[in-house]
């Protein structure tokens, strides 16, 4: 029997410049705009109503919160395959988006960056769960090893 559980459906970010953020998330990340409201845009992958909402309702022209402030650490975007993550990396490089990090977690491979307002973004793909690393008690034993970016870039799309 398949276990049922809640799923995180979408993320809504306050941004300081809506058009700048829409350009970043569409051009560098690959979302498409699904709808616009005054001061807001709703973006998705694959035609869903929205995975990401962006708004300036309370934040127009605002400054990023200090990194020591409580709040969202990052939003994580799951790609279906390693080839899709490789395509995302190529798009980031083409748009000269600097990476804040890149890691092999054993269960996944991840790229870390910041959006124009300093919001953390993780782009990742999950490996097949069968060979995920486990500790002696059978619990998942994630790690943070360097990600081989050249190997990722060599991945066919």
Q: Where are the domains of the chain?
A: 9-58, 74-157
What confidence score (pLDDT) does residue 6 get? 86
**Confidence check: pLDDT of 1 > 80:** no
Task: Count CA atoms within 13 Å of residue 21 on its CB side.
Answer: 26
What confidence score (pLDDT) does residue 157 get? 77
Question: Which H or E element spans position 150?
Answer: helix 149-153
Long-range contacts of 8-11 (CB under 8 A, 24+ apart): 10/50, 10/51, 10/52, 10/53, 11/51, 11/52, 11/53, 11/72, 11/75
**Is the domain 74-157 a CATH 1.10.3720.10 member?**
no
Rounded Cα–Cα distance for residues 88 and 25 (Å): 11
pLDDT tens digits, 2-48:
678 888 889 999 999 999 999 999 999 999 999 999 999 999 999 99
CATH second-level architecture of 9-58? Roll (3.10)
- Asked, colleague to colleague, whether 9-58 and 74-157 share their fold, the answer is yes
Q: Which residues contact 92 (CB under 8 A, 6 or more apart)?
A: 28, 99, 111, 113, 123
pLDDT band of residue 67 (cuts 50, 70, 90) is confident
Which percentage of the chain shows pLDDT scores above 90? 91
What confidence score (pLDDT) does residue 7 get? 82
Rounded Cα–Cα distance for residues 15 and 29 (Å): 16
Give mean pLDDT, residues 97-123.
97
């Amino acid at each position: 029997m398949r276990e049922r559980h809640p799923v995180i459906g979408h993320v809504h970010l306050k941004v300081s410049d809506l058009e700048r953020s829409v350009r970043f998330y569409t051009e560098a990340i690959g979302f498409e705009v699904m709808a616009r409201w005054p001061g807001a845009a709703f973006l998705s992958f694959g035609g869903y109503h929205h995975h990401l909402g962006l708004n300036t309702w309370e934040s127009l022209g605002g400054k990023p919160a200090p990194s020591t402030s409580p709040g969202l650490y990052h939003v994580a975007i799951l790609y279906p395959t390693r080839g899709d993550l490789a395509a995302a990396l190529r798009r980031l490089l083409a748009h000269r988006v600097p990476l804040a990090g890149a890691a092999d977690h054993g269960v996944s491979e991840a790229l870390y960056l910041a959006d124009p307002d300093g919001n953390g973004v993780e782009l990742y793909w999950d490996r097949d769960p069968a060979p995920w690393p486990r500790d002696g008690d059978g619990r998942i034993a994630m790690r943070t090893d360097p990600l081989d970016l050249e190997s990722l870039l060599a991945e066919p799309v």
